[in-house]
């Protein structure tokens, strides 16, 4: 945990004043605390490092591997391999002639992450850890290199282990996945479904009738719109429709800051894995590529696309193109990476004739628009996720009817229809035709701890959007301000949200309790009134083992929509709820420094 807190501390970008103030406060509170200049000095925090020094195999693995008790310390015959000399720095040329020859040995580690064997190459080494994977063979030669050869592991399994399983449209990590409310966005979904089948979006509409181009369908479609327009819901619904019709090839949903969905390193590997699973006739071409060269999963994006997707597809051929859906490109880490993804896809479909269609959904960020308008201008079409007041009205009426039924005890004396048509009209107008406002209102009113009528009254009492009436997010900001204003212990809530924003909500509730020196359940109690904008999720050690939980200690905070984080990080929009204020950063810095001091003394070490 020390390294985790250190990473959080380094990522907060505190100014010198905040750091000095916080550190001085901690030192004044507890003069006995010693803040280490270098984390990890003294007792090693790595289990592998610690066991290597003691000549033992590593203990347990994520696959519940067992530790061998037969390992022993290095003998004199294996002195060159002592822990004091890194293996890549061994003086091979200084050894006697017979020691310069290549040395081969096998260390059977089932599971790939089982503990290494005891010391000894030509001597008798200890047993390795046990798990459930293939045998790993090591070849150490005079060239000072180590080659890892994956024997007995299929190409599909190599792809699976390197894939971001939680980025697909049907992953448990994204449950419950946002999708279009029934009977909403029907026209847009029809246009997208037709494009997937080879019919480009209409060039114009005459009297509500589409007019289509006679040109072939564009291989790339850009679905764009502002925050809260419902792009991810449209992409999710399209994935479900195309999968049912047999036209879906793969999907990837980016999420800013997520350990596997927040970057592009696993994008094309994940797409290749899905194509291999969905298209049995394509499977051998893809898996053979990985079988021949397992390092492909670690290559650059362009090489992965070429070797894992383009070449196998060209070898097999398609009777009808499949669709690959990439959502939230603007949430991928690095603007240059976002552009590289688009360039690589453009080259693949245009110059290399890749028989796939790509739908890319994102906000209309400048770096993304630049590539589409300049580099891909002849091979793409775009669709704006426009406002839809009728769809928002349909959604609100259906959800209010559901709330009226579900809260039967508190709504028994409330006359129907509820709410009044005038109230619904007002909410539809405030939504500006986008679902983010309407969905946030519904979650706020649907809180089981309050009466729906009282919560609705709080929403309708908001009169003037603050703090920036001219902003396109004015009504949404006013809603966020109203939700935050009724939460007690504002300073504590801001510290909790600041921890989450700085570390992308990778801390569990229990860890945040410890960091902020709260009693058990303190975070849960403080955030009780924010269920309309944040929730919790529990994550297991595998990417597919993720479940929504009712604020358990080991669960992590999730934000229902990225626009809430955008709001909290903007001093103009958030006002007094700005999580980057000097007071919030100073208090949080003090807690982190104190936690680092405790970690150095072993209080948090496990």
366-381 pLDDT per residue, tens: 999 999 999 998 899 9
The two three-digit tokens of residue 311, written as one number:
């070449």
Domain boundary among 152, 171, 198: 152
How many angstroms separate the CA atoms of 367 and 408, rounded? 50
Closest CA to 216 of 188, 247, 195: 195
The parts of the chain modelled with pLDDT lower than 70 are: 1-152, 203-214, 318, 463-472, 503-505, 538-550, 598-606
**Do 280 and 364 belong to one domain?**
yes
Note the pLDDT of residue 552: 80
The two three-digit tokens of residue 292, written as one number:
């021949």
Q: Pairing between strand 248-253 and 380-384?
A: unpaired
Residue 604 burial class via C-beta count within 10 angstroms: exposed 0-12, middle 13-18, buried 19 and up: middle
Residue 467: inside a domain = no
Distances (CA, A) of 64 to 69, 134, 151: 16, 15, 22
The two three-digit tokens of residue 546, written as one number:
């993720």
The two three-digit tokens of residue 187, written as one number:
């026209």
Residue 474: inside a domain = no
Note the pLDDT of residue 267: 98
Note the pLDDT of residue 399: 96
Rounded to the nearest 5°, which phi and psi values hold at 82? -70, 160
**Do 114 and 188 belong to one domain?**
no
**Do 164 and 148 belong to one domain?**
no
Note the pLDDT of residue 482: 84
**Do 434 and 547 belong to one domain?**
no
**Do 240 and 347 belong to one domain?**
yes
Q: Pairing between strand 380-384 and 220-224?
A: parallel
Rounded to the nearest 5°, which phi and psi values hold at 516? -90, 10
Decide: 601 and 37 in contact? Cβ < 8 Å.
no
How many angstroms separate the CA atoms of 585 and 14, rounded? 7
* Positive or negative: CA dihedral 83, 89, 93, 98: positive
Q: Where would I find the beta strands (DSSP E) of 159-309?
A: 204-206, 209-211, 220-224, 248-253
Note the pLDDT of residue 9: 59
Beginning with the edge strand found earlier in the chain, give each strand of the sheet holding 546-548 in spatial order: 546-548, 534-539, 556-559
Angle at 533 between CA 529 and CA 534, to 5 degrees: 85
Domain boundary among 384, 414, 437: 384
The two three-digit tokens of residue 528, written as one number:
């009780």
**Do 223 and 327 belong to one domain?**
yes
Distances (CA, A) of 353 to 68, 98, 302, 400, 605: 53, 55, 15, 49, 55
Count CA atoms closer than 13 A to 504's CA, side-chain side.
12
**Do 378 and 493 belong to one domain?**
no
Closest CA to 130 of 107, 153, 162: 107
Exposed e or buried b per residue across 432-447, where buried means at least 16 C-beta atoms within 10 angstroms of its C-beta: bbbbbbbbbbbbbbbe
How many other β-carbons are positioned within 10 Å of the β-carbon of residue 118?
Answer: 23
Note the pLDDT of residue 174: 82
Residue 481: inside a domain = no
Closest CA to 325 of 369, 275, 257, 259: 275
CATH number at residue 322: 3.40.50.300
Domain boundary among 152, 172, 199: 152
Beta bridge partners of 535: 558
Distance of CA 593 to the CA centre of its chain: 27
**Do 52 and 29 belong to one domain?**
no
Note the pLDDT of residue 407: 94
**Do 251 and 336 belong to one domain?**
yes
Q: Where would I find the beta strands (DSSP E) of 2-131?
A: 103-107
Q: Residue 93 belongs to what domain range?
A: 47-152
Residue 466: inside a domain = no
User: Per residue in 128-142, pLDDT tens?
Assistant: 554 444 444 444 333
Distances (CA, A) of 534 to 95, 335, 434, 480, 509: 62, 27, 19, 12, 13
- Which residues, including other chains, have CB under 8 Å from residue 3's CB and lie 6 or more apart? 39, 40, 45
Residue 479: inside a domain = no
Residue 359: inside a domain = yes
**Do 366 and 267 belong to one domain?**
yes
**Do 218 and 342 belong to one domain?**
yes
The domain tally of the chain equals 4
Residue 577: inside a domain = yes
Note the pLDDT of residue 150: 47
Beta bridge partners of 537: 548, 556
Residue 473: inside a domain = no
**Do 25 and 112 belong to one domain?**
no
């Amino acid at each position: 945990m020390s390294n985790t807190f250190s990473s959080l501390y380094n990522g907060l970008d505190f100014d010198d004043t905040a750091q000095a103030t916080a550190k001085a406060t901690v030192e004044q509170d507890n003069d006995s605390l010693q803040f280490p200049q270098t984390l990890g000095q003294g007792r090693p925090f790595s289990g592998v490092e610690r066991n290597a020094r003691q000549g033992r195999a590593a203990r347990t693995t994520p696959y519940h591997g067992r530790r061998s008790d037969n390992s022993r310390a290095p003998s004199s015959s294996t002195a060159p391999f002592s822990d004091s000399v890194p293996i890549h720095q061994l003086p091979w040329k200084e050894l006697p002639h017979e020691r310069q020859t290549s040395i081969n040995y096998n260390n059977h580690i089932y599971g790939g992450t089982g503990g290494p064997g005891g010391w000894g190459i030509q001597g008798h080494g200890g047993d390795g850890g046990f798990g459930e994977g293939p045998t790993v063979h090591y070849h150490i030669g005079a060239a000072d290199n180590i080659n890892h050869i994956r024997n007995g592991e299929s190409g599909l399994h190599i792809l699976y282990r390197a894939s971001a399983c939680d980025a697909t449209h049907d992953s448990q990590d994204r449950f419950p996945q946002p999708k279009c409310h029934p009977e909403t966005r029907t026209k847009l979904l029809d246009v997208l479904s037709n494009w997937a089948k080879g019919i480009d979006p209409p060039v114009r509409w005459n009297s509500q009738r589409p007019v289509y181009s006679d040109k072939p369908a564009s291989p790339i479609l850009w679905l764009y719109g502002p925050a809260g327009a419902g792009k991810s819901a449209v992409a999710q619904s399209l994935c479900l429709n195309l999968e049912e019709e047999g036209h879906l090839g793969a999907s990837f949903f980016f999420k800013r800051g997520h350990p596997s969905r927040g970057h592009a390193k696993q994008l094309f590997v994940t797409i290749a894995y899905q194509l291999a699973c969905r298209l049995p006739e394509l499977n051998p071409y893809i898996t053979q590529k990985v079988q021949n060269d397992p390092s492909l999963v670690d290559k650059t994006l362009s090489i992965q696309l070429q070797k894992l997707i383009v070449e196998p597809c060209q070898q097999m051929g398609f009777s009808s193109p499949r669709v690959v859906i990439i959502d939230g490109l603007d949430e991928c880490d690095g603007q240059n990476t976002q552009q590289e993804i688009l360039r690589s896809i453009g080259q693949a479909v245009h110059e290399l004739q890749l028989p796939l269609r790509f739908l890319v959904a994102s906000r209309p960020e400048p770096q993304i628009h630049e590539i589409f308008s300049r580099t891909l201008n002849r091979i793409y079409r775009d669709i704006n996720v426009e406002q839809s007041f009728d769809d928002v009205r349909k959604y609100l009426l259906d959800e209010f009817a559901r709330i009226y039924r579900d809260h039967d005890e508190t709504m028994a004396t409330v006359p129907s229809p509820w709410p009044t048509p005038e109230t619904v009209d007002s909410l539809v107008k405030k939504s500006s035709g986008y679902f983010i406002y309407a969905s946030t209102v519904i979650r706020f009113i649907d809180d089981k701890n309050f009466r729906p009528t009282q919560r609705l009254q709080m929403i309708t009492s908001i009169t003037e959007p603050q703090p920036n009436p001219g902003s396109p997010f004015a009504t949404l900001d006013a809603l966020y301000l109203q939700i935050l204003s009724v939460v007690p212990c504002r300073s504590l809530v801001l510290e909790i949200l600041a921890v989450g924003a700085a570390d992308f909500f990778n801390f569990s509730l229990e860890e945040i309790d410890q960091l902020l020196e709260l009693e058990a359940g303190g975070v849960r109690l403080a955030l009780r009134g924010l269920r309309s904008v944040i929730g919790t999720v529990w994550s297991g050690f595998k990417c597919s083992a993720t479940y929504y939980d009712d604020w358990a200690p080991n669960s992590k905070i999730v934000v229902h929509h990225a626009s809430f984080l955008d709001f909290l990080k903007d001093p103009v929009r958030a006002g007094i709820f700005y999580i980057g204020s000097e007071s919030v950063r100073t208090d949080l810095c003090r807690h982190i420094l104190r936690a680092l001091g405790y970690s150095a003394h072993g209080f948090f070490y496990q």
